[in-house]
Amino acid sequence: MGKYTDNPAAVAALVEQHQVHRDTYIDQEIYELEMKHLFSNTWVFVGHDSQTPTKGDYITTQIGNQPVIMVRHSDNEIYVLYNRCPHKGTKIAIDRAGNTGKFFRCPYHAWSFKTNGCLLAIPLKKGYADTAFKDSEANHGLEPVGDVKNYRGFVFARLAKQGISFEDYFGEAMSSFDNMVDRAPEGRLEVAGPPLRYMHQCNWKMLVDNQTDTCHPMVAHESSAGTAVKLFEEANWPEDKPKPMAMEIIAPFMSPYEFFEEMGIRTWPNGHGHTGVHHSIHSDYTQEPEYWDAMVAGHGEERTEEILSEIRHNTVYWPNIMIKGPVQQLRNFIPLGPNKTLVESYIYRLVGAPDYLLQRTAMYNRLINAPTSMVGHDDLEMYERAQEGLHAQSTEWINIQRLHTEEENYDEIAVENGTTERQMRNQMNAWVKFMTMTMSDKVEAAE
């Protein structure tokens, strides 16, 4: 046992409102406690139900460090099961996606399970006849996670059997998901192809922090976005010719500080928040009339106006995803260790919308989120330098003080200047809450 296990006071002491101790980013024991507590007590993104459209379809993924299967059962509901045979531990499925038919069959000893996890059959079952097998855990089949919620196609799970409800956990924060889905004329999304998979040698929270960090784009991305703006100016582009789609995407990264200050940040309880309350870097995208017409046919003019005038930037759903409603994109920051994070970036098709929107969404993904993307190179360089720099025997604290006030209450919804680091403070406030809520206090009890 290290210095943080069973010691909620020591864990809580790592977070002050205006600064965070480096152990939250570099310490192995803290990472393991995050997996055990934070990723068990919170609602974590699993997948989209269009990834498993027909009965028996499944995907394999992970919640924190826990291997799980998301599968569509014969009742058409989505189940999330631990990917572990109750017999010897073999992973039941390892394809990233597939169809298992009516049941899963373990490839090791052919134990089989219904797609809701129930044990179906064991070969040579008489071998257990005179044992107390029916009382053993192995008899329970593939264990489901604590709770599952399918919200308008997006599947979330809470590993812990008891805990906060989905509604209490997210509250009004789901408005960004609503806006993303409402942007489809038919009111639903479909996943478009496999995700980008980008490996980062840094802590997962650096990526989460970066999503609402509005003081870095004009600095870290000067190399890509700044160069793009310069090349475009030199190209003497005719005014009547439409701007290239790539320029629409990349040029706003160079917007001045005032633009980001004025766009605003909203924070919600439990660590959720978004940039782009009033406008965002996605505000000036070209809109074709045929999309407007399709939206009006699906939603009516008033609702269409309402939906399309909400142009949020990044919404963080604590702990580890970000969505961009206007771009139909979701990034999943999967923690693989204190200094290793796999980023999976998904795109979705607006059902009923013209193709140019999906074309832009796919372009955004490869220009910004790919391991081959210049913007991605800019960011990863900063994360990896920080991950190494944090080990310096200098200060042990990370500063998150920009626009901090003494009166901040993270249980209240707030809208503030778009360059505040309040959302990072909000995240770490939620970090302490969900890290310590199920932690026993053996250390204090012993004293």
Tell me which residues in 192-211 interact with other proteins (CB under 8 A).
192-201
HSE of 314, CA atoms in CB hemisphere, 13 A:
18
How near is the Cβ of 381 to other proteins at its closest, in Å?
4
CA 189 from chain centre, in angstroms, equals 17
Among 98, 146, 226, 337, binds other proteins (CB under 8 A): 226
How near is the Cβ of 329 to other proteins at its closest, in Å?
10
How near is the Cβ of 341 to other proteins at its closest, in Å?
10
Residue 314, both tokens: 């990044």
Nearer Cβ to other proteins, position 10 or 374? 374
Give strand pairing partners of 340: 337
Nearer Cβ to other proteins, position 254 or 439? 254
How near is the Cβ of 29 to other proteins at its closest, in Å?
25
Residue 305, both tokens: 């106006």
Nearer Cβ to other proteins, position 74 or 201? 201
Cβ burial of 285 (10 Å; 0-12, 13-18, 19+) is middle
Burial 94-125 (b: 16+ CB within 10 A, else e): eeeebebeeebbbeeeebbbbbebebeebeee
How near is the Cβ of 100 to other proteins at its closest, in Å?
20
Nearer Cβ to other proteins, position 146 or 337? 337
Size of the site for other proteins (CB under 8 A): 47
Q: Which stretch binds other proteins (CB under 8 A): 7-15, 113-121, 222-230, 299-307?
A: 222-230
| Residue 346 near residue 163 (C-beta atoms within 8 A) | no
Nearer Cβ to other proteins, position 355 or 407? 355
The single residue listed with the structure tokens 């299967």 is 69
Q: List, as one string, the DSSP characters of 148-212.
A: EEEETTEEEEE-SSS---HHHHHGGGGHHHHHHHHTSTTS-EEE-SPPEEEEESS-HHHHHHHHT
Q: Which stretch binds other proteins (CB under 8 A): 16-24, 118-126, 242-250, 267-275?
A: 242-250
CA 213 from chain centre, in angstroms, equals 16
User: Distance (Å, rounded) from C-alpha 270 to C-alpha 136?
Assistant: 38
How near is the Cβ of 376 to other proteins at its closest, in Å?
7
Give strand pairing partners of 337: 340
Q: Which stretch binds other proteins (CB under 8 A): 34-42, 52-60, 174-182, 215-223?
A: 215-223
Residue 235, both tokens: 């190209």
Strands 315-317 and 321-324, sheet pairing:
antiparallel
| Dihedral of the alpha carbons of 289, 295, 300, 304, in degrees to the nearest 10 | -80
Tell me which residues in 295-334 interact with other proteins (CB under 8 A).
none
> Which of 68, 45, 80, 64 lies closest to 322 in space, CA to CA?
45
| Residue 415 near residue 266 (C-beta atoms within 8 A) | yes
> Which of 318, 280, 323 lies closest to 418 in space, CA to CA?
280
Rounded to whole angstroms, what are the CA distances from 276 to 214, 220, 249, 280, 314?
10, 20, 15, 5, 7
How near is the Cβ of 384 to other proteins at its closest, in Å?
9
Nearer Cβ to other proteins, position 149 or 349? 349
Q: Which stretch binds other proteins (CB under 8 A): 13-21, 69-77, 297-305, 339-347?
A: 339-347
* Residues 155-194 as x/- pattern, contact with other proteins by CB under 8 A: -------------------------------------xxx
Residue 227 interacts with other proteins (CB under 8 A): yes or no: yes
* Residues 78-97 as x/- pattern, contact with other proteins by CB under 8 A: ------------------x-
Tell me which residues in 94-113 interact with other proteins (CB under 8 A).
96
Among 32, 178, 186, 222, binds other proteins (CB under 8 A): 222
How near is the Cβ of 199 to other proteins at its closest, in Å?
4
Nearer Cβ to other proteins, position 329 or 426? 329
How near is the Cβ of 377 to other proteins at its closest, in Å?
4
Tell me which residues in 353-392 interact with other proteins (CB under 8 A).
355, 358-359, 362-363, 365-367, 370-372, 374, 376-378, 380-382
Residue 17, both tokens: 């409102």
Residues at the contact surface with other proteins, assessed by CB under 8 A: 96, 192-201, 220, 222-224, 226-228, 230-232, 235, 244, 246-247, 342, 345, 347, 349, 355, 358-359, 362-363, 365-367, 370-372, 374, 376-378, 380-382
